[in-house]
């Protein structure tokens, strides 16, 4: 019997894990299966562009996985049983069950409404492709002077507000921010951001808590109201509740707690990467939900799994950051340089060159997901234990590295 490796989710992290494992292990000894609800790879970091009316390149997963030996299952995960090692699926042919020996959980995240009334009924989102498409349709229906309020001042909110304002110059775009606009950026980064918002005509409501979303606007914590024909909710992400229901150890936010090799601290046959995982950065601070975290986490998980199956050396590369790339429409961006633990450095170049650099980063993220090994490697053989062939795989008991 082959060792069954199953990856749930084909976002940036999941796709990178699948391809990297397939290139590190022999296909006659392992079966690598990638499960995803959609047949296409979704560039999540570009969904604000989709919402604003732009068309992105179609990227079928089967084409991306061609030649890797990875089996694609287009189905929705409905449950995971980590005790008997099975996954419940629902696909075009109905309900099914898939077994595994090693599981990688990479189902990502979705919109977090923080319990605010009216978000589900009245707000739009750019956390998913269907949501971005619905927002694009609604924006196209607005008459000149239509009002758009973006709730949330993180990277997603800033990019969504900028893209909508640039692509729909006849609309009135505003953003509601709980703190100060871009207050985590350096002074140089904040100046460039405010200048760009001024150029785009975006109204900024700082230190504004939104307590309810309605059909005609939002209510704020000071008993005020911001009128809106369209409300776009970008106030953070939440992990799918399947993770918490598995019996795996999870954080208060529902993220699967992992060690430095991306292995679950409660179930050694399960790994987690991307937004669904809680992993420590170089100074012990949690890695943030982002593509910048997900792809390196995927590499770490894949290399750790391969090492344990083949008796190789576990990876010891610490995970950290270099910059935050924030697009401000198609012709502007700000590149905030950061420390390894994601604190802003003084330098934050912006402008057209920064926009070009951000575009390269987005293209690079897709390339790394589709080509998870930038260098050739030699496939290693699985190390078998003394148990009957194929039943178990020897685990190299090496202390987990701090990630």
- Contact predicate 230/359, CB 8 Å: no
Kindly state the average pLDDT of the residues 356-361: 94
* pLDDT at residue 191 greater than cutoff 90: yes
**Distance (Å, whole) CA 187 – CA 200:** 20
Distance of CA 269 to CAs 101, 280, 337, Å? 7, 20, 37
Token pair, residue 64, equals 């991306």
- C-beta neighbour count of 250 within 10 angstroms: 22
Question: Cα dihedral sign for 158, 162, 165, 167?
Answer: negative
**pLDDT tens-digit map of 165-186:** 999 999 999 999 999 999 999 9
Rounded mean pLDDT, 340-364:
95
| Ranges assigned E (strand) in 137-199 | 147-151, 172-176
CA neighbor of 262 nearest in space, from 4, 21, 73: 21
Tell me the C-alpha distance between 362 and 41, whole Å: 14
* Residue closest to 100 by CA, chosen among 35, 36, 40: 35
Judge if pTM exceeds 0.85.
Answer: yes
Residue 395: CB atoms within 10 A of its CB come to: 14
User: pLDDT (tens digit, 9 = 90+) per residue, 262-289?
Assistant: 999 999 999 999 999 999 987 788 999 9
Res. 347 pLDDT band, cuts 50 70 90: very high
pLDDT at 95 over 90: yes
CA atoms within a 13 Å half-sphere pointing along the CA-CB vector of 339: 11
CA 9, 372, 342, 325 torsion-angle sign:
negative
Alpha carbon distance 49, 82 (integer Å): 38
Q: Which domains does the chain have, with CATH numbers?
A: 3-110+237-320 (3.50.50.100), 113-235+321-372 (3.50.50.100)
Q: Is residue 398 over pLDDT 50?
A: no
Closest CA to 206 of 162, 151, 159: 151
Spatial distance between the Cα atoms of 291 and 275, rounded to a whole number of angstroms: 9
Report which secondary-structure segment, H or E, holds 120. helix 119-122
| More reliable by pLDDT, 214 or 374 | 214
Confidence of residue 372 (pLDDT cuts 50, 70, 90): low
DSSP one-letter string for 307-356: HHHHT-PPP-PPP---EEEEE-SSS-EEEEEB-TTSPBPS---BSHHHHH
> Is there a contact between 75 and 37 (Cβ–Cβ < 8 Å)?
yes
Minimum mean pLDDT among 129-138, 216-225, 264-273, 353-362: which range? 216-225
Asked whether residue 400 carries a pLDDT value surpassing 70, the answer given is no
311 pLDDT exceeds 50? yes
pLDDT digits (tens, 9 = 90+) for 27-62: 889 999 999 999 999 999 999 999 999 999 899 999
DSSP 376: -
Q: Which two tokens stand for residue 389?
A: 């062939």
Across the chain, mean pLDDT equals 90
Q: Which residue is listed with tokens 């148990």? A: 387
**Contact predicate 246/388, CB 8 Å:** no
Measured at the alpha carbon of residue 7, what is the angle toward residues 314 and 241, in degrees to the nearest 5? 110
Q: How far, in Å, CA of 182 to CA of 74, rounded?
A: 39
Residue 134 has pLDDT above 90, yes or no: yes
């Amino acid at each position: 019997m082959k060792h069954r490796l199953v990856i749930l989710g084909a976002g940036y992290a999941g796709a990178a894990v699948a391809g990297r494992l397939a290139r590190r292990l022999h296909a006659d000894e392992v079966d690598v299966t990638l499960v995803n609800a959609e047949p296409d790879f979704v560039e999540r970091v570009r969904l604000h562009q989709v919402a604003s009316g732009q068309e992105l390149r179609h990227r079928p997963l089967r084409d991306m996985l061609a030649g890797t030996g990875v089996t694609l299952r287009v189905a929705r995960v409905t449950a995971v049983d980590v005790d008997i090692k099975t996954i419940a699926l629902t696909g075009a042919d109905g309900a099914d069950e898939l077994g595994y020996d090693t599981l990688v959980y990479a189902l990502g995240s979705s919109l977090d409404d923080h319990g605010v009334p009216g978000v589900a009924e009245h707000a739009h989102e750019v956390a998913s492709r269907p949501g971005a498409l619905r927002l694009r349709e609604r924006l196209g229906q607005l008459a000149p002077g239509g009002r758009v309020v973006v709730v949330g001042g993180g990277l997603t909110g800033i990019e969504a507000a900028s893209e909508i304002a640039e692509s729909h110059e006849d609309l009135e775009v505003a953003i509601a921010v709980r703190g100060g606009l871009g207050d985590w950026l350096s002074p140089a980064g904040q100046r460039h951001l405010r200048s760009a918002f001024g150029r785009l005509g975006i109204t900024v409501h700082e230190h504004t808590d939104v307590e309810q979303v309605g059909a005609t606007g939002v209510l704020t914590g000071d008993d005020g109201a911001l009128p809106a024909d369209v409300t776009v909710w970008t106030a953070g992400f939440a992990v799918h509740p399947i993770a918490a229901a598995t019996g795996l150890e999870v954080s208060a936010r529902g993220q699967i707690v992992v060690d430095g090799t991306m292995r679950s601290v409660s179930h050694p046959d399960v790994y987690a990467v991307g937004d669904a995982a809680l992993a420590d950065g170089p100074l012990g601070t949690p890695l943030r939900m982002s593509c910048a975290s997900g792809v390196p986490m995927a590499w770490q998980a894949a290399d750790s799994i391969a090492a344990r199956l083949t008796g190789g050396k576990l990876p010891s590369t610490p995970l950290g950051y270099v910059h935050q790339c924030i697009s401000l429409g198609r012709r502007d961006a700000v590149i905030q340089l950061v420390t390894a633990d994601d604190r802003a450095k003084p330098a934050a170049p912006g402008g057209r060159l920064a926009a070009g650099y951000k575009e390269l980063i987005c293209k690079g993220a897709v390339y790394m997901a589709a080509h998870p090994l930038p260098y050739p490697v030699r496939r290693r053989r699985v190390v078998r234990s003394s148990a009957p062939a194929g039943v178990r795989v020897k685990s190299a008991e090496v202390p987990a590295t701090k990630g």
